[in-house]
Amino acid sequence: MTTASTIAADGFSAETDRKADRGPVDSVDSARLRILLACNDKADRDRIARLLAASLHADYRLDWAEGYGTAIQAIGEASHDLLLLDDRLDGGTGGNLLREARETCCAMPIILLTRTEAPETERWAIEAGAADCLVRPRLSAPLLDRAVRFAVARRESSDRIRYLSQYDPLTGLANRVLFRDRLNRAIGQARQGEGGLVLMLLALDRFALVNETMGPTAGEQLLRSAAERLFTCLGGTASLARVGHDEFGVLLEHDTSPEEATLVAERIGRAMRPPFELNGHEVLVTTSIGIAGYPHCGWNADTLMNSASTALYQAKERGRNSYQFYTRKMTARELQRLVLQTSLHRALDRNEFALHYQAQIDLRSGRLAGTEALLRWQHPEFGLLGPDQFIPIAEETGLIVPIGHWVLATACLQARAWAGDGQHVPRMAVNLSARQFREPGLPATIGRILNDAELPADRLALEMTESMLMEDTEGASAVLASFRDMGLHVAIDDFGTGYSSLSYLKRFPLDTLKIDKSFVRDVTTDPDDAAIATAVIGLAHNLRLGVIAEGVETEAQLDFLRTHGCDVMQGFLYSPPLPPGDFEKLLAACKPAPVG
């Protein structure tokens, strides 16, 4: 070494090596320990070397720095794990060197060796940043061994704490704290160079579903696998971090253009496309990405993170598995969403929800076949809101479960009340959300609701989408079997818009298919939609299932559906969704069809 010479005394080689020969060593001793001894006196140096040799159960190397300047130079190289510092050095004192080392952010532990015992010296040394203070005349092998081990162990604990405060232990990626620090530094550099940067926030689509259906272990495995794919995909061109439960952050520096950011987002999408192997099953998990650029989308880390988060939400709203760049128009929508999310927590307690009812008409008899209960929210600030404006928020927050129970209970009580007034509704249809469908004990909950309302089970129809059933086919089969045993009617809503596999139709105990309004809208002008509607009707009848057409608005649509054998229609042509009082007037004007 140029700054510190290795000790060669009393049988020690030029590189003072010593390996443990007294059994296994602990974590402190698991790697070669590099010790720097800063002192002037050769006799003191040799004595300390002998004490270390007699005490340490470790593979270590001892280097000697003679004098203040040599010690400072050796400290600056940051190649040692521990400094044994004499309080008197040529060119300065040990105390001054201790202060200078700490001022230059030297992180290694320092043990100060003093000639005399003085409590004030020990107190000052510890306050100045020393790990320990030992009186040299009283040094012994056990004392030095204990001091070295304690200092190194405390340093390792400090390093571990620092690591955990900056890195995600599950994926090994930087965490939100470190990522934010990197973002702040990158913004500072961009300001000085008048350049730009791009921030991406990524969320794993349907991660909650994996966690709920396959368990948290599978969720953790998915996060690790996703992190590995992202790291490989980015290839060192960006800073990557796990910034939330199922969210990752990507920082693209060096004046990245929107076009370059687009290429990166598309590359990430391709990397996430192959199925993940989880617990022996292949699982498809896509990603949604929100993109915000500096300085156009924010001048500081907070604003930029908020902008990227807003864009991420929009990507999810547009069907997931996509990316969105932030625009200022999104801010107003995000603000409204925040207000809705906050007030949604109080909406049930404040009785702000209401049900409107839309008639379902038997196309053969023209009589009332049933009604669908449709949720509305009378918001104190935004007025009457349809479900598309708040149900996604309720799904995200989990509020959809208590809201869904309220809808079921209210609809059943209303059906029973109408029956008590002599206004019979053949069947009340209620939509189940995906999260509600996965709730443990759902059949029992519905049973209690029916009992409380004194409503026969065959008067209640439960509507759910294809996608809900296909998320967990075995679990769905069990729940649907329970519904069938209870006497409930089961309908597939929005048929044709979800999974393309039709094999489930013969496996699941179903009663009705509902043709989605997107196919009904152009059924008289678009040959493809006409073919789909006709095929669904034929398929349902061949499987002995009923068919309801949604969104019927014109006489031409009605004629087409009646001609091709559709059983029931629902839409504005007959009636829009109505509040209970208005629906009662409709009930008085029409006759109910028999329950099928």
The predicted structure's pLDDT at residue 7? 42
Mean pLDDT taken over the chain: 84
Six-digit token string for 188: 């500072």
Distance CA 337, CA 385 (A): 12
Six-digit token string for 384: 């009457």
The predicted structure's pLDDT at residue 591? 67
Is pLDDT above 90 for 469? no
Highest mean pLDDT among 298-312, 398-412, 510-524: 398-412
Average pLDDT over residues 302-326: 88
DSSP track, 295-338: TTT-SSHHHHHHHHHHHHHHHHHTTSS-EEE--THHHHHHHHHH
**Looking at the DSSP assignment, which residues form a beta bridge with residue 60?**
18, 33
Ranking 106-120, 162-176, 268-282, 452-466 by mean pLDDT, the lowest is 106-120
Handedness of CA 251, 255, 257, 263 (dihedral sign): negative
Average pLDDT over residues 367-384: 94
Burial class (CB in 10 A: 0-12, 13-18, 19+), 564: middle
Residue ranges of the domains in the chain?
A: 5-166, 176-327, 358-372+401-589
Residue whose token pair is 């989408």 = 465
Is pLDDT above 80 for 504? no
Domain 5-166 has CATH 3.40.50.2300: yes
Within 10 Å of residue 165's Cβ, how many Cβ atoms? 10
Average pLDDT over residues 359-377: 95
| Segment 570-582, tens digit of pLDDT | 999 999 999 999 9
What HEC string does 60-106 produce?
EEEEEECCHHHHHHHHHCCCCCEEEEECEECCEEHHHHHHHHHHCCC
Choose between 214 and 30: higher pLDDT.
214
Are 471 and 434 spatial neighbours (Cβ–Cβ below 8 Å)? yes
Q: Is residue 387 reached through a cis peptide bond, with omega within 30 degrees of 0 on the bond before it?
A: no
Handedness of CA 216, 218, 224, 229 (dihedral sign): negative
The predicted structure's pLDDT at residue 289? 95
The predicted structure's pLDDT at residue 497? 62
Q: For the structural domain made of 358-372+401-589, what CATH number should be given?
A: 3.20.20.450
Average pLDDT over residues 247-256: 89
Average pLDDT over residues 494-511: 72
Distance CA 517, CA 571 (A): 9
Ranking 190-199, 404-413, 476-485 by mean pLDDT, the lowest is 190-199
Is pLDDT above 70 for 519? yes
Please give the span between the terminal C-alpha atoms of the chain, in angstroms, as a whole number: 94
Is pLDDT above 90 for 410? yes
Q: Which CATH number fits domain 176-327: 2.60.120.260, 3.30.420.40, 3.30.70.270, 3.30.930.10?
A: 3.30.70.270
The alpha carbon torsion through 339, 344, 350, 353 (nearest 10 deg) reads 110
Is pLDDT above 60 for 305? yes
Burial class (CB in 10 A: 0-12, 13-18, 19+), 176: middle
